[in-house]
Structure 1
Amino acid sequence: MNQPVDQIVRRKLSDEVFDRLERMITSGELKPGDDMPSERVLMERFGVGRPAIREAMQALANMGLVNISHGERAKVLQLTAKSIFRQVDLTAKIMLSQSSDTLEHLKSSRIFFERGMAREAALRIEPQDIADLGAIIERQRQSLGQAEEFISADMRFHSRIAQISGNPIFVAVSEAMLAWLKAYHTDMLIWTGKEKFTLVEHEEILDRLAAKDADGAEAAVLKHLERSRALYTR
């Protein structure tokens, strides 16, 4: 006998509790920084046992909506673009490790994104932005031969360009893609001298940005990323 298509499935108590707690947060009843009600208060309010409360609270924590500290009341977190991407960081890296196609798609997406960021930055750049980017390049130069420090400065250079937009979502997207790609940044960057190409190309990008040349900045970024994309391998 065929199962009814619209069969109603009974939900777990913890799922119902989760929905109630989520509504308390999204409705503004509980705001970022507020302590969540105690387990005892929630048990009485919803008429459920402690296990359902704890399971629902853990689900909220897994989504980044609350922070649970041992011995303290759970606290409602302020959601930001960065915190949202941080929640998917591990699963994104696992997904990338399982598929070379997905890694190639990420590389292409990053190039598409950074070309746009370069154009936006060229239109908005201020003297302080130019000074900050120049300082990052100098930090990279001082880090030649030190893989971790050099790559960290490399990532900072690109995320700082995204910051010029004034859009925190752009910054979060930039930092997330760079963090996911970092796992595939091979040691060949250091041992073959390619880091010197990176410095020259970063200087070219900064020159075009400082000149407020959107076309030139985009072309410099495209040249840089098309060369460096080979450094990211499975």
Structure 2
Amino acid sequence: MRARSLPPPIPPETDATGRQRIVRRKLSDGVLDRLQEMIESGQLAPGDNLPSERELMERFGVGRPAVREALQQLQTMGLITIAHGERSRVNVLTVGSVLQRIDAVAQLMLLAEPQQLGHLKEARRMFECGMVQAAAQRTTPEDIAELRAILADQAEMMRDAKAFIAADIRFHSRIAMMTGNPLFAAISQTMLRWIFRYHEGLLHWSGQEVVTMGEHHRIVDFIEAGDGHNACFAMGDHIDRSNAVYIKSL
């Protein structure tokens, strides 16, 4: 795919009197700004190849190190993919792909600042309660059948902590999908990954799996009845009980 034409150079900055000001910046920062503007404006669309390094060097009047540093920064930001022997390509961005890129940073933050876990859990409670209300209003027989099937699978995984947790994530993620909002689905799955990775070893406590299953079935019953109000209360009780058990286990 051919790269689109590059825009003309940006004129030097001026002050209120019209005089040009000299701004000292790294050359790579200037290249980064220009390429990011092209992506944001659509001049370089998802899937497009970027100009070659040589073309960028000639266009911006900079050396190869500045171009490569700018490209590396764009890749770190998730905007492009650099492939050896090929031209860099603009990425197709989705909510899921963007959130996935911050997974490692989020995990480090939770480990370095454990108090952030409480904030995350509070946000998740509000988020899940709102989602389950929307799911109850939009549910279909097929949705209920799939939720029941997930719970049937989860019931077979009582003695396998990781499999039980994976089924738990599928259950909550499926409720998020029922809202019809892809943002909800992606954010829900991401928050669950962060929480469960943080204290995975404490989530498999004796006897609580049965309680969890009962709560899940109760939530589905309210969703099936189209009772968003009680589905919200049931979800809130479920999350509060899980959080309380976690705190006692510390």
Deviation at 1:92, TM superposition (A): 1.4
Residues 118-173 of structure 1, C-alpha deviation per residue, up to 9 Å, x if partnerless?
Answer: 11111111112111111111111122211111101101111111111111111121
Q: Who is 1:146 aligned against?
A: 160
After TM superposition, the score normalised by the length of structure 2 is: 0.86
Q: Are 1:14 and 2:28 counterparts? A: yes
User: Aligned partners of 2:120 and 2:245: how far apart in 1?
Assistant: 13
Matched, 1:127 2:141: yes
Match of 1:71 among 73, 85, 89: 85
Relative distance call for 1:71 and 1:147 in structure 2 (3 A) is farther
Taking structure 1 as the reference length, the TM-score comes to 0.91
How many percent identity over aligned positions?
51
For 2:45 and 2:115, how far apart are their aligned partners in 1? 41
Partner of 2:203, secondary structure, is helix
Pairing 1:34–2:48 present? yes
The answer (yes or no) to whether the contact 2:132–2:228 under 8 Å persists in 1 is yes
Whether the 8 Å CA contact 2:139–2:224 is kept in 1: the answer is yes
Higher mean alpha-carbon deviation, 64-73 vs 121-130, is at: 64-73
Q: Distance in 1 between matches of 2:45 and 2:214?
A: 48
1:201 — aligned with what? 215
Distance 1:129 1:149 in 2: 22
Check conservation: 1:32, 1:77, Cα contact below 8 A. Answer: yes
Structure 1 residue runs of 5 or longer lacking an equivalent are 1-6
What code does the residue aligned with 2:178 have?
I
Q: What is the CA distance between 1:211 and its match in structure 2?
A: 0.5
Measured at CA, do residues 175 and 130 of structure 1 come closer, stay the same or move farther in structure 2, by a change above 3 Å?
A: same
Asked if the contact 1:181/1:232 (under 8 Å) is kept, the reply is: no
How many residue pairs get matched?
Answer: 228
Amino acid at match of 2:117: L
Which segments of structure 1 move beyond 3 Å, counting only runs of 4 or more? 230-234
Are positions 1:175 and 2:175 aligned together? no
Question: Is the 8 Å Cα contact of residues 140 and 150 (structure 1) preserved in structure 2?
Answer: yes
Cα distance in 1 between the residues matched to 2:209 and 2:155: 9
1:113 matched to 2:127? yes
User: Partner amino acid for 2:77?
Assistant: M
